[in-house]
A = this chain, B = another copy of it.
Amino acid sequence: MTYCVGLLLKAGMVLLSDTRTNAGLDNIATYRKMFTFEEAGERVITIMTAGSLSVSQTTLSRLRDAIRATDSDGETSIMKAPTMLKVAEIVGNMLASVRMDVEEKLHSMRQSASASMIVAGQRRGGNPRMFLIYPEGNFIEATDDTPFLQIGEHKYGKPILDRVVNMETSLEDAQKAVLLSMDSTLRSNLSVGMPLDLQVIARDACEVTMSRRIEAGDADFRAMSEAWSVALRDGFQQISL
């Protein structure tokens, strides 16, 4: 399983992913689920993945191949696509085609494999945009009404986002919000695990503003988690039935 969350705010975008991959309960590994394509000042695109590792790795590899291809253009390379919408289309089409390839192989075993992705980015002259790409390749976009997108194990971490996040949330508060959302998920689902990848892309920077890997023993993360537990318990005691 996986938990990835992205916030699209007036001030920019905040992205967080875990790194746990498992095939069954007895085969657990750490894989990065956040991938960035960047031409600083011109274009930044970050993709987060959930689902079958074989599908998401192959999709990312083919996207990289398409960028490097000598005949790449705005129809095939996410680094040349004229808009973020076109980027989402390219990723969606690639994801759908890889999924079909893999499912063909798996068909005889009566298994299936799929993946979903969050694609966030901005090109110079455009707005920051964020998309959730479904396994079938179609997608939805984050809006003012719903400024966050989640993939993977999304339910445990949603209540906190519902209550504290809106378009006006600062980038600093947004980082707290996604980390607390992840913390709730980590506590409840063993298949979501540390370390975490946290990234901030400030509006109009068109490059990664801050990127940080948070390891399992991270003192700051633990302190924040404990402070949140205390705040919840205090708040709980204060309200009356």
Contacts and interface: CB of A to CB of B under 8 A. Distances in A.
A37 interface: no
Contacts of A237: 173
A177 B241 contact: no
A231 B241 contact: no
A231 B224 contact: no
Contact of A235 (B158, B228, B241): B228
Contacts of A162: 187-188
Nearest to A183: B159
Interface string A164-195: 10000000110111011000100110000000
A13 to B, nearest CB: 17
A164 B184 CA distance: 13
Interface string A222-241: 00100111011111111111
B158 A158 contact: no
B235 A232 contact: yes
A130 to B, nearest CB: 20
Interface residues on A, range: 35 or more
A40 interface: no
Interface string A97-141: 000000000000000000000000000000000000000000000
Contacts of A156: 155-156, 158-159
A236 B241 contact: no
A160 interface: yes
Contact of A224 (B224, B229, B241): B241
17 contacts: A155-B155, A155-B188, A160-B232, A162-B187, A162-B188, A163-B229, A163-B233, A164-B232, A164-B233, A176-B239, A177-B236, A220-B241, A227-B238, A231-B236, A231-B239, A232-B235, A235-B235
Given A157-B159, A159-B184, A228-B235, 16 more contacts: A155-B156, A155-B188, A159-B159, A159-B160, A162-B187, A177-B236, A179-B241, A180-B236, A224-B240, A228-B239, A231-B235, A231-B236, A231-B238, A232-B232, A234-B235, A235-B235
